[in-house]
Structures are given as structure tokens and as C-alpha cells.
Structure 1
């Protein structure tokens, strides 16, 4: 049996940024790509899209009514949607040379089937879950292009509100489709015997090759925030609070001018739809739900820094708030002291005066790793192994050439507040690239076996739902070879 390294969807971006860029590209073409009259008939399309059609599809008969390529339940797929998919892939650096229109059509129909069934199953997503992701994307676009006005112009929208709505709708559709897919495979489990059968059914010369992996420990020394620095930032926030309460100054203006939160500063510190069970810091939520509309909190601290907060509107179980975030200033003298401390620690470890693990437990400022001797946990897999080909580039550069037990040079990192901190790393275990081994790589093999079983479950689900759902595929695409029975032959 040949191992097929399949994913649960035809194209799945590898990280949040790529996913969000796909949304942007879809929106950027929006209504500019295709103009439809009141009957739904396509009136014109851009020359760029026309060029993409060339050499990417076998000759088709071109007498499609109203530009509709398929209908899945109440969702319509236009021929231009396939063109836009090519542009989306190109925008993320994916080669489209071997991707056919039939393949993209099959992917689009899968997505619409998930959306259709999610609506039937009453799968709901709160706006408050989507808004922070949209905020993050807009902030990224502004940082790349220069200003909100330039972003709006670049993506051919009239206002930022229009762009935000399109981003919101696109992201919500994708989340609904993902949740529907997750629901389909939620109860799929794999037994040890199924894992064993999966692995030994693969011929030895076709077994997957696993990349080199390392286990990494770290020691982190952060420049100490002095009492004076803490009090200084609290005093600044108290002055802002007094200006708002006593002098009638605009809280939103204070946020725009002074807040260090890149996700909200440009919008006057606004976060909409904050919920008690949402992802915000506990201290942030405690203050948000303890105030009346218009009240301004006392300064308070979270892991992100120091805040003041006001409530704009209370809407049942949700509140709209504005906040100002500031960080204490750290003097160069304190920074130099932290650097000297970690240099001294490194010298002692190399000299054998103290082990790396003991030094981490006694001196490291990283709460998540110090109790484990500095051992880092992979945030993707939640184990201690890091694939060298998938590591964060900054981390990979520091450990790539390290031998097991060797200590890295001191390097400077920055936390989420932008504050500098110093690190040293060591490799506690290194596993070179190798063919899959049933004992050593059991967890990875189990993951592959489970994924194959999930794929079969999805195929079965799709077959059932396609039979239950209204599906109409235009004759241009009826001769395609789909994995599922979309044309109901």
C-alpha cells in the first residue's frame, strides 16, 4: 500500500497569516473582478483573470448560463470563483502549474457543502470570536501598506467599514466550514491495532521519512522592572484617567495617541463583544464587567502591561470596551545588568560549575519552562520535540548547528510587549532525519493513521450529504474526475 500524505482539505494554509492573506486576496478582487446584472448574467471580467484561464483547463464548451458553475444547496459557485482561487494560490507563492480547474472546483464544492450543512446543523459562531482575528489582519495590512486609507484604496473598497465587513464574512464562512468538518471527525478514534496494521501495510521502501528533530532547553533572563518604573507608568495612566473624568478629554483620543496595543490603538482602543469566557486576560475581563457604561477603571496590570479601561456599551452578556495599554520603561543600566547575569550563567555552565537544568530552575525568568529544567514544549504538538524544518526561524537559527549538550551564545529576544530579554539554549536530544520507525515514531505514525481514517470518514459523510443535498454542476465541469460523486452518476 502506498502511503498517501493527504490533508483533510485540498488546500490548508500552514498558519494564520497565510489563511488571512487568502481572505484578503479573495476580497481584493471582490466585485471588481466580475459585474453581474439583475438577472445574474456576467457582463465583463478583468483581463488578468482571463489570462489565468488560458492553459489551465481542458477545452470546454462555453455556453454556461449566467456564469454559474455549480449550485450546492443555497450556495452558488461562479466561474470567476475558480479564477480567484488561482490568484489566491499565486499570492501565497503556491505554484498553480499542476492545479487544474477541476481540482479547484472540487475544493469549492466541498467548502460550500460544509457551509450548507453547518447552517442545517445550526452551528453558530459569535461575532466576538471573529472580530479579534479581523483586527489582527487589518493591523498587519496597515503595517505592510502604510495607513488605513491606503489599505482601503489597495483593496478597492469605499470605506474601512466595508473592507472590515467583507473580511468578517469571509473569515466567518471559513470558521463555519472548519467547525463542520471538525464535527464530522470528532468521534473518529484509532486503536493500537489499527495503527500497527496501517504501518506494516506500507512497503519498507515507501515508508515516510521524518525530518530531523531536537529537544531544546532554555534559560531566560529579563531586565527587572523597577518599582520606580512601575509607578511611573501607573502615574501616567492615572493622569489620563483624570483628564477623561475631570476635564472631559476623549478616552479614544488618548488611546490613539498613547496606547501600545497595535490591535486596538488605531480604533481608539476599541474591543467589541468582550465576553466573560472570551480569550482576554482575566484582569481585563474582571474590570470590563465591573464597570457601568462611561466609567473608567483604575490602572491595573496584566501579562501584557498596564491598562486603564472604559466601557462603551453593555449588550447583555457582551461589553464593548476601550483601553489604553502602556509598558514600564526599562533603563539601559538595568538591561546591561541582565546581560551580565546571563553571560555569567553561561560561563558557569560551560565550566561545569552548574548544570543547565539546575541553572534554569534557579535563575530562569521563564515561568513555563524553569520548573522543567528549561525544557521547551512545542506549541503545535504539545510535546518536547521540534521539527527543524518547521521551527520558528529565529529559534532554528540558534540551534541548527548546536551539538547535543552544547550551549548557544547569548541572544536577544523580545516578548509580546516588545521588551528585550536574553536567552541561552541547549540541545538535550537530537534525532537525525530517518525512515519511520514503528517504536521510535509511534505517535507520528498514529497521527498519520488517524488522519487517513478521518479522511475516510469525511468521504463517507460527503457521499451521504451529496445525495441529500441539491447539487447542480454545470456541464463544463461534469466530466471532471472528482473524489466525490458531485454529478451523481
Structure 2
């Protein structure tokens, strides 16, 4: 088969670029694969390898076999994305771009070291990463359109389960279901005033030029997620921020100004605008939390102990106490039942938690508790960084075990559906490979590729 006009043109352009690069930097690039009208360069394979390493992803086998095949597969999906008219959500791309750039800089230690690692400017790194993220969305769009809607019958799921070797079944860690009641200690007005006065002092230092916002945030902010970055937050939409914060932050339009003091459920903030991009904003902030005296914590523990005694003496149920007395707004309307909101958990959206997924103060208390047992009052720090008095009750416990069809049907069902999706995707890719032009450099052919038909 002859090269198309598009490929010949790309070869001419590439030759000019390669010759120019060679004359300036003594670097020679080469085309290692051609898929349809698209060329894969050796430099692109190296770039892909660095990206994988940066994201701590595992490479299966020889990277110089795995990576070009994966890049070729991506090109097949991107070709299909054009046919399917798949669209990209640019807001999601921007959000992920900022997330990965921050992660990359954090991993290497600085923006300068990141540029040194990739051998190109920060602007070029951003451009290339944006392209990759857009392509990922297009590929995911194709996969969702063609392979997402898999529906299996219970008999098909059971048949799948019976074919899985026992040593291949996942181990399901111990999970627990927990109810909680909390009492918030009263914060003395003098502590609130002290925090506000400190924030006013910081604002004055920033406005007078004595200190920068980022320096003060690094030294004093009590937000562990942003303090080390000078208070700098990732790009956010309004919906990603608590309303009190977003209303003030998105009203800012001068990066040299500092907001008034803002109170949220996390504490008290001052905010500075860094940059706006459409409906997204990048801000830095300083967070301070009023100190709670031990006397106030003790008072909250005594009040909670009284509530607990009422439950023990059957004057009120745990459900009722959680509904009427708990300060935890996330659970009090659900009879105190905690819900797992971790996005990377198999139990997301359910009341089941692995011990490692629970708040660490709660995990220490419930680790050895039995079903139906209620703890004594204890002090915990909430996920929002507040000290509260709490009492918990274990309502269900499922000890660690190998997954089985009776206790873990949803997990087995998900495994079966994923297996079926992979089968459909493999069949689709195999047919695509058979109908598209592929050329591989002879030096790159000695591989055990996952899919047949690349070598023609």
C-alpha cells in the first residue's frame, strides 16, 4: 500500500523538523509507527513514557512495545471520535489541567525542575498536557457510547463467577456501618475576635506592602492543603466552593485587593484573586480557626454523656437522638447514619466504610467494637477541621473475606460487566486494526503485541 498525500506531507514536514533539530541540537527523531494517516514518533514514545512515570502508572512489559501499541489504539479511538462527533467539556479539561500541573510540579519539586524533566518550557508542557486531556475525553466518549451500556442477567453473572479461579477473587476488607451523634462546643466570643483581629493585621500588612499574601499564608494559614503553596488553590467553579466563600471570591476583580473576612464552616478566611478563566477562578486564601478551650470541650462531652445515658436507659433511641440533638448536619437527617462519600471507594454512596476510609478518630474507637455497641463520648476532629464531641454506634460489620456471590453480589456484578465491556472493546479494536493501514519500523516489530494484525 502507498502512503496517502497527507502522510507524505507529514513525512516532508517531519524531515525538515528533524533536520533542523539535528543541526541545532544533534538530536535525530524517527517515525516508528504509522497508523492510518497518523505517524508515531520515537520522541512521542519517550514523552508518553515520561508522562506514565510522572503519574505513577504501571507499564505492562517492554515500554517500547506497550507504549507505541497503546498510542496506536488511542489513534483508533480518536478516529472513531470524529465519526461519532464526540464533544469535549472544556471546563473539565481546564480543571484537570490545573490539577495535573500542580501534581507534576509537586512531584518534581518546582516548576524549573519540571521543565528540566520534560526538556521544554512550562507553557509547552501545559499545551501538550491539554491536548492529552482533550484526547482522553474523546476516547472516553467513544468508550461510553459503544461499550458503557452492558446489561447482564443474574444467570450470566453467576456463570461468570463460577469461571473465576478462587485465587483471582478480590479480598474484601472489613467494612463497617456507623451512626454518629456530635455536639459542638461553644466557641468563646473572645476567641473569634482574636482570629478576626489577626486577619485584619494580615490584610493591613499586605495592603501596605510589608508582607505578601503568599508569605503570610505559608506562615500562618491553617488550611494544610494550601498553606505550603502560599494559600494558592486550584482553579475552581462556584459549585466546588462553599457558598459563603464563593460569593465573596467570585466578586473579586482586582488581584491586588484582599477580601473582607469571610466566615465558613471551616473557620475564617481572607481571600485574594489570582486569575479568572470564564466560570472558573484561581484564588489564594488564609484560613484561621478559633481555638476551643478545654473547658468548652469538657462541657460538650458532659452534655453528650447525658444524651448517651438517655439512650442506654431507653428514654430515647439513638435514631431519635441523632435526629434531634446531633450537630452533624450531614447525618442528622439520616438518623445519624454515615455515608461513604470517598470518590475512589468501592463503597461510595453506601453506609459501608473500610476502617481506612473512616475519620481517623472514629476508626480508633470503632476498630474493636461489636455490632450494636455504642462508644463513650470522645473528642474528634471533623473532616472540616473542627473539634467536636462525638459518640458512635456500630450497626453492621462485615469481616474481611474473599469476594463471594452471596455477600458481594454488586462487586461480582461489576466485575462481570467490566469483563464483558473489555470483550466488546477487544472485538471492536481487532476489527478496526484489520481495516486500517499500519506500518511499523522493522526495529520495533519484535514485540508480543496484545492485539493481532498490527504486523501486515
Distance 1:215-1:175 versus aligned 2 partners, 3 A rule? farther
**2:297 aligned with 1:335, yes or no?**
yes
Conserved 8 A contact 1:388-1:396: no
Gaps of at least 5 residues in structure 2 are 1-18
- After the TM superposition, which residues 321-360 of structure 1 pair with which residues of structure 2 at under 5 Å, given as runs? 321-346=283-308, 349-350=311-312, 352=314, 354-360=316-322
- Cα deviations across residues 63-91 of structure 1 (Å, max 9, x unaligned)? xx9576545635545675697699679x7
1:351 Cα deviation from its structure 2 partner:
5.5
Of 362, 374, 386, which aligns to 2:352?
Answer: 386
**2:366 aligned with 1:399, yes or no?**
yes
**2:402 aligned with 1:437, yes or no?**
no
Distance 1:350-1:247 versus aligned 2 partners, 3 A rule? same
Of 375, 378, 384, which aligns to 2:337?
Answer: 375
1:405 Cα deviation from its structure 2 partner:
0.8
Task: Determine which structure has more spread, i.e. the larger CA radius of gyration.
Answer: 2
Equivalents in 2 of 1:320, 1:336: separation in Å?
40
Of 158, 166, 175, which aligns to 1:199?
Answer: 158
- Cα deviations across residues 175-225 of structure 1 (Å, max 9, x unaligned)? 74266225412562244x534323235437847466244322223344333
- Cα deviations across residues 447-470 of structure 1 (Å, max 9, x unaligned)? 223222322343345346556776
Conserved 8 A contact 1:195-1:449: no
Conserved 8 A contact 1:218-1:374: yes
Distance 1:129-1:425 versus aligned 2 partners, 3 A rule? same
* TM-score of the pair, normalised by structure 2: 0.70
Aligned to 2:96: 130
Conserved 8 A contact 1:283-1:302: yes
Equivalents in 2 of 1:197, 1:169: separation in Å?
43
Conserved 8 A contact 1:412-1:423: yes
* TM-score of the pair, normalised by structure 1: 0.66
Conserved 8 A contact 2:355-2:367: no
Q: Which moved more, 1:132-141 or 1:327-336?
A: 132-141
Aligned to 2:415: 448
Of 195, 204, 214, which aligns to 1:233?
Answer: 195
Gaps of at least 5 residues in structure 1 are 1-35, 45-64, 143-147
**2:185 aligned with 1:223, yes or no?**
yes
Distance 1:117-1:428 versus aligned 2 partners, 3 A rule? same
1:410 Cα deviation from its structure 2 partner:
5.1
**2:414 aligned with 1:414, yes or no?**
no
Distance 1:261-1:333 versus aligned 2 partners, 3 A rule? same
Conserved 8 A contact 1:131-1:272: no
Secondary structure, in 3 states, of the residue corresponding to 1:218?
Answer: strand
What is the RMSD computed on CA atoms of the aligned residues?
A: 4.7
Question: Between Structure 1 and Structure 2, how many residues are aligned?
Answer: 419
- After the TM superposition, which residues 150-189 of structure 1 pair with which residues of structure 2 at under 5 Å, given as runs? 157=116, 166=125, 170=129, 173=132, 176-177=135-136, 180-181=139-140, 183-186=142-145, 188-189=148-149
Secondary structure, in 3 states, of the residue corresponding to 1:405?
Answer: coil
